[in-house]
């Protein structure tokens, strides 16, 4: 089976390519390398001793994408590609709407044209908005754009709606929406991990940079939340567990003897939360990191960050019952692998080593 991974050079994409290759799938990676590195693809090949076919292509150019589908027979698409910086999305809303929405619409159009109708989409817990009660199930309320605090999050919810409408209009299309909680950690090899450009927005990559001395101290955003220690609580999930969730989801397309609970008028859209179901506070994460790294993480308390809420964690039962998926790696594994990657790659990926790029040219 040939799986096209859009955004495969990124953090979650690269880990998922490893699991796909290990499971025996052929991987065709499409990426514009805007926010990622082709060195990640080299390292996926190193970890697995298998080849990835890589096309440098921006999904906003539909002709180029079409060209790839003319060259390759694709059985399913996993769509990671998209802009994802929450803060930036508020200053560049048009760029986020244009890029994220056009990319998925082009992808669906080209898939339809080539009769490839199996799509997994990376969604986010952000679609549940601010006024949600925990634990969050897939049936928790979704759907109010005003309840989401930033344009990035709104693109996720808008895309989910587009997928619903396409699935309802075409019963042959199978769509899987995976709503990620807080993906962190890195591959055990220390070869691939999260490599944010500039100042990290998210907690664990920021702690990782403090741990190796790249930043002086952690700023904890708020200590007056209604949580056990006053700091925000989130459902951190190891990126390898998350990646395995994608591999198990592919069974919905390729191994249909099992019963999966579908949504949508034509019963062809499937939604799963991917999180551990356990909430950890910012201080829990900092303390676990200090333990595994055997290092002190200096920190200060700052004001709350706009749009943050007390606590967010999921109920992972649907994914467990139907996909047979369980998150096996705990908070210590997450911190240990994050630290290992950061230590091995203090400057992130080294782009000197260019992968053999195939350009997706217009005919």
Q: Which residues are near ligand UD1 by CB under 6 A?
A: 86, 124, 126, 149, 153, 182-183, 201-203, 206, 219-221, 232, 234, 282, 305, 307-308
CB atoms within 10 A of CB 94: 8
Q: Is 152 a catalytic residue?
A: yes
Question: Which is closer to ligand UD1, CB of 194 or CB of 336?
Answer: 194
Q: How far is the CB of 126 from ligand UD1 (least distance, A)?
A: 3
Largest CA distance in the chain: 60
Question: Which is closer to ligand UD1, CB of 164 or CB of 221?
Answer: 221
Q: How far is the CB of 228 from ligand UD1 (least distance, A)?
A: 13
Q: How far is the CB of 186 from ligand UD1 (least distance, A)?
A: 14
Q: How far is the CB of 206 from ligand UD1 (least distance, A)?
A: 4
Question: Which is closer to ligand UD1, CB of 72 or CB of 310?
Answer: 310
Question: Which is closer to ligand UD1, CB of 168 or CB of 201?
Answer: 201
Residue number of the CB closest to ligand UD1 reads 232
Q: Is 162 left (phi over 0), alpha (psi -120 to 50) or beta?
A: alpha
Q: How far is the CB of 236 from ligand UD1 (least distance, A)?
A: 8
* Selection from 281, 285, 319, 4 nearest residue 137 by Cα: 319
Q: How far is the CB of 110 from ligand UD1 (least distance, A)?
A: 26
Question: Which is closer to ligand UD1, CB of 119 or CB of 148?
Answer: 148
Question: Which is closer to ligand UD1, CB of 97 or CB of 221?
Answer: 221
The catalytic position among 83, 152, 225, 236 is: 152
**Quick one: CA torsion of 262, 167, 120, 258, rounded to 10 degrees?**
30
Residues serving a catalytic function are: 152
């Amino acid at each position: 089976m040939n799986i096209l991974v859009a955004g495969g050079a990124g953090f979650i994409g690269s880990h998922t390519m490893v699991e796909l290759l290990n499971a025996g799938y052929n991987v065709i990676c499409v990426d514009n390398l805007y926010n990622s590195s082709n060195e990640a693809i080299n390292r996926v090949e190193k970890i697995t001793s298998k080849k990835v076919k890589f096309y440098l292509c921006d999904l906003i150019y539909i002709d180029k994408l079409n060209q790839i589908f003319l060259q390759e027979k694709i059985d399913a698409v996993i769509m990671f590609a998209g802009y994802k910086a929450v803060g930036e999305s508020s200053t560049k809303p048009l760029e986020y709407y244009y890029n994220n929405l056009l990319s998925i619409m082009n992808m669906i159009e080209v898939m339809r044209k080539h009769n490839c109708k199996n799509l997994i989409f990376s969604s986010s817990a952000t679609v549940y908005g601010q006024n949600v009660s925990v634990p969050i199930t897939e049936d928790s309320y979704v759907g109010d754009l005003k309840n989401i605090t930033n344009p990035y999050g709104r693109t996720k919810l808008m895309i989910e709606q587009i997928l619903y409408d396409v699935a309802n209009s075409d019963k042959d299309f199978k769509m899987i929406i995976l709503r990620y909680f807080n993906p962190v950690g890195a591959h055990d090899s220390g070869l691939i991990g999260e490599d944010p450009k500039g100042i990290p927005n998210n907690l664990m990559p920021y702690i990782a940079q403090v741990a190796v001395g790249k930043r002086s101290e952690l700023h904890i955003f708020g200590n007056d939340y209604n949580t056990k220690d006053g700091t925000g609580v989130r459902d951190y999930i190891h990126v390898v567990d998350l990646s395995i969730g994608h591999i198990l989801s592919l069974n919905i397309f390729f191994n249909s003897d099992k019963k999966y609970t579908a949504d949508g008028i034509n019963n062809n859209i499937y939604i799963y939360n991917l999180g551990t179901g356990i909430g950890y506070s910012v201080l829990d994460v900092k303390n676990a990191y200090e333990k595994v790294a055997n290092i002190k993480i200096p920190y200060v308390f700052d004001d709350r960050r706009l749009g943050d809420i007390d606590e967010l964690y999921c109920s992972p039962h649907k994914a467990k019952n139907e996909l047979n998926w369980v998150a096996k790696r705990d908070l210590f594994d997450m911190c240990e692998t994050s630290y290992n990657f950061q230590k091995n790659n203090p400057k992130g990926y080294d782009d000197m080593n260019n992968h053999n790029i195939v350009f997706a040219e217009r005919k």
